[in-house]
Amino acid sequence: MFPKERAGSGLLNVLLFLVLPLALMFTLNARVDLVKPYDFDEMIVSRVALQPDLSALWKILATGQSPHPPLNFLAVRAAYALLGVSEFTTRIPATLGVTVMEICLFFFVSKRSNAAFGTVAMIFPLVTLARWYAVEAKPYGALLGWTGVALICWRYAARGNRYRGWALAGLGIALACATSSHFFGALVGFPIIAGEAVRSWQRRGLDWVMAAVVSLNYWPLVFFVSILKAGARVHGVHPWQKPLGMNFILTSGDLLLAKSAAPILVCFLVAMGSRVLGTSSDSGKVRFPLDEIVAASALSLLPLVAFCGLRLAGIKVIEEKYVITMVVGVAILFAWSLYRFADGSMKAGLVFAAIVALWTGRDFDRDLRVARMERAEAVNFSPPAAANALGPLPIVIDPVVFTAFETYAAPPISGRIYALADPEMRLKYKGTDAPDRSILLNPAFFGRHVETREAFQATHRRFLLYENISDFPNYMLQKFVDDGAKIELIRGGPEERWYVITL
């Protein structure tokens, strides 16, 4: 009843275990893409991509306003040229990147097991934080896609078959594009280096051509050094990222993988049941190549690799999402472990795939509800009645949430919204001045009403101040308290508060 071939290469296998689940996952992604409003970072991506020409785009990157390599912006720009400007098209590169990662995981895992376990690996990242970056116009979705392509190409190149030349070319392109999408894409080469170390030991010699191709992962760092320097100059003095410490190794795993703990536990309980019932298969005795196991393990340990590398480089800050590609390695090891634990049972593999798919569907449904709520909040944003009775006063909002409200609120309201930049004030009250320093490089780039606090206060002696308590408490409130301004709370609540400030 169930096919026994390991590779999952038959047309029926590909249709049932790859195409149908992939179409379902892409549809779930698209539903969120179409509803979710821009957040601050996505709005910046869109505005960089919409620059009139490539020279203007490069200038923004090279001045430190958006200190990222250019490939993701160019991909969004291409999507705009083909399909027009919208939230959906802004996110297409990220969604396609995650889709490519899923395809690569399917073939990478099913080649050493069977198609059902390929599906398990393909879906697994979507029960981790990687799912969220499939619906955000940031470079992490593309980074995941290039990681998948690099692994597949490395496998074919390492096995030395007739496709080796094409595989080497694909590997070099994938590694260079990973670093050209996000500077931490330079970590993608490490698991391949680890796998190559094992292969070199086994074959008693270094594959010099492979080594040269893998080095392409690091060349973009040379070409984009001006962006790195500008980013360090603007964002590196008092950075907003978390300090790098030993706890990063644990917190990154917790943040990226915590939501997958329940389906992992359920799958292994089912696998134990499969062993008890004796539903075994000879395919479960397959030995996985040591170099591929080491590569997947090294990919899973990227937080440790990043910690050691950054310490050696003298870099003291990082964010957990920078090592998001670790979920690719975890997906491979998870699927292969289930395959061995369940003795290669295709029936068990189908059950595992169903469990992970159900969790994924539940998570996407929750994401869709959150996206609809966020859009409704932005569209319906308006001061309380008590504030409206005072006249059309300006509304001061934290710059991080300013772009969403300015973009989606009704015109009479959006025209009153201001974001104020003051590096010294943010440094005093928040411990960083990086966002404000970036904004002041070109305030008009961030919105119509973005200006310094001093300039705003020179022309506005009375205004409204809005703060979102749970996400972005407005630190400016403390500044106005310290300056002795008259502050009147006109609406309080657990989520948001409105004040009237009189200077």
The predicted pLDDT at position 85 comes to: 93
Domain for residue 272, yes or no?
Answer: yes
**Residues 144 and 70 grouped into a single domain:** yes
Token digits of residue 170: 């694909």
Q: Across residues 157-168, what is the average pLDDT?
A: 88
Q: Which two tokens stand for residue 496?
A: 């948001």
105 and 178: one domain?
Answer: yes
Q: Judge whether residue 240 has pLDDT over 80.
A: no
Q: What is the three-class DSSP state of 81?
A: helix
pLDDT at 121 over 70: yes
In a domain, 489, yes or no: yes
Same domain, yes or no, for 453 and 330? no
> Domain tally for the chain?
2
CB 34 within 8 A of CB 130: no
Residue with tokens 């006109």: 490
Mean pLDDT computed over 54-74: 91
Residue 34 counted as domain residue: yes
Say whether both 272 and 350 belong to one domain.
yes
Q: Binning pLDDT at 50, 70 and 90, where does residue 281 land?
A: low
Q: Is 116 part of a structural domain of the chain?
A: yes
The percent of residues above 90 in pLDDT, for the chain, comes to 41
> Is 428 found in the same domain as 294?
no
Beta bridge partners of 488: 500
Q: Which residues contact 274 (CB under 8 A, 6 or more apart)?
A: 341, 342, 343, 345, 347, 348, 351
Pair (84, 127) in one structural domain: yes
CB-facing half-sphere around the CA of 280: CA atoms within 13 A: 10
**Any domain includes 1:** no
pLDDT of residue 177: 97
Tell me whether residue 112 is in a domain: yes
Single out the residue of 119, 189, 184 nearest to residue 151, CA to CA.
189
* Band (3; pLDDT cuts 50, 70, 90): very low
The confidence score (pLDDT) of residue 282 equals 47
pLDDT reading at 211 higher than 90: yes
Give the max Cα distance, the chain. 81
pLDDT at 81: 95
> Phi and psi dihedrals of 487, rounded to 5?
-125, 125
Identify whether 4 is part of a domain. no
Q: Which tops the pLDDT comparison, 175 or 340?
A: 175
Considering the domain architecture, whether residues 169 and 281 belong to the same structural domain is answered as: yes
Most confident of 70-79, 266-275, 311-320, 450-459: 70-79
pLDDT of residue 11: 66
Q: Is the pLDDT of residue 403 over 90?
A: no
Instruction: Identify the residue with better confidence: 13 or 299.
Output: 299
Of the listed ranges 135-144, 197-206, 220-229, 489-498, the least confidently predicted one is: 489-498
Distance CA 29, CA 24 (A): 9
Which H or E element spans position 452?
A: strand 450-452
Is 60 domain-assigned?
yes
pLDDT surpassing 80 at residue 284: no
427 and 446 fall within a common domain: yes
53 secondary structure, DSSP code = S
Mean pLDDT of the residues in the chain: 86
Find the domain containing 332 and state its range.
Answer: 11-372
Q: What is the pLDDT of residues 413-462, one digit of tens each?
A: 988 999 888 888 888 887 888 888 888 888 888 888 888 888 898 899 99
Last residue of a domain, one of 372, 393, 415: 372
- Which of 372, 394, 415 delimits the end of a domain? 372
Kindly state whether residues 359 and 423 are assigned to the same domain: no
Q: Which two tokens stand for residue 158?
A: 């390492």
Q: How many Cα neighbours within 13 Å face the side chain of 313? A: 11
Q: Indicate whether 367 and 393 sit together in one domain.
A: no
pLDDT score of 318 more than 80: no
The reply to whether 325 and 393 lie within a common domain is no
Query: What pLDDT shows up at residue 1?
Result: 31
pLDDT computed for residue 382 by the predictor: 87
- 69 and 104 share one domain: yes
* Mean pLDDT value of segment 121-136: 91
Residue corresponding to tokens 């050691």: 308
Q: Please say which residue of 372, 388, 405 terminates a domain.
A: 372
Say what the pLDDT of residue 471 is.
55
Q: Which of 60-74, 143-157, 340-354 has the highest mean pLDDT?
A: 143-157
Residue 202 sits at the vertex; the CA angle it makes with 201 and 204, to the nearest 5 degrees, is 60
Mean pLDDT of 146-159: 94
